Amino acid sequence: MQQTDLAIYNNHPYQPGGNAFKRLLWYYVNAFIINTAWLPFNSLKIGLLKLFGAQVGNGVIIKPRVNIKYPWHLRISNYSWIGEGVWIDNLTTVTIGNNVCLSQGVMLQTGSHNYKKPTFDLIIGPIIIEDGAWVGCGAIINKGVTLGNHAILSSGSVANKSLEPHGIYQGNPAVKIRDRIMQ
């Protein structure tokens, strides 16, 4: 039986995008402006995200202490809210539709590791959160998942596979508990 050997870890052919200087500069901008509670100016955060390559629509709200790995892999449509303490670990594209709410402490993680290989290779997959979806506080969305239009992932739940439109999902792993009926 083989064992994991991190000395031979392999993340090839993954490329984070941006040159080394851009990534280093973003690290400090993210640490001191985006992922902080002392600078609450939404327009400054959005301007910096756009400067670093993010696509951000109108009326987007980004609360304090949001952590974004690579803004050049981020697409946020109109009137979406990114809550306090959200971590967008976007090694590849994260797409957030119109009128999406990511509540406090949500984690979007586009990467994982292939535990079946001793090299523990990096594996990535995009995340898509479609229009009107709501992700409850402390929920986790894993690589390759799409939340359908107006789907809800309840607080503390973990989405390992895509969620159908207008469904309410709960648990770890998240399962559909009922339909979302809007009046």
Amino acid at 14: Y
Full pLDDT tens readout for the chain, 183 residues:
889 999 998 787 788 998 999 999 999 999 999 999 988 889 999 999 999 999 999 999 999 999 999 999 999 999 999 999 999 999 999 999 999 999 999 999 999 999 999 999 999 999 999 999 999 999 999 999 999 999 999 999 999 999 999 999 999 999 999 999 999
Q: Could you tell me the pTM of the whole model?
A: 0.96
Task: Please give the domain boundaries of the chain with CATH numbers for all domains.
Answer: 18-176 (2.160.10.10)
Neighbours of 38 (CB within 10 A): 8
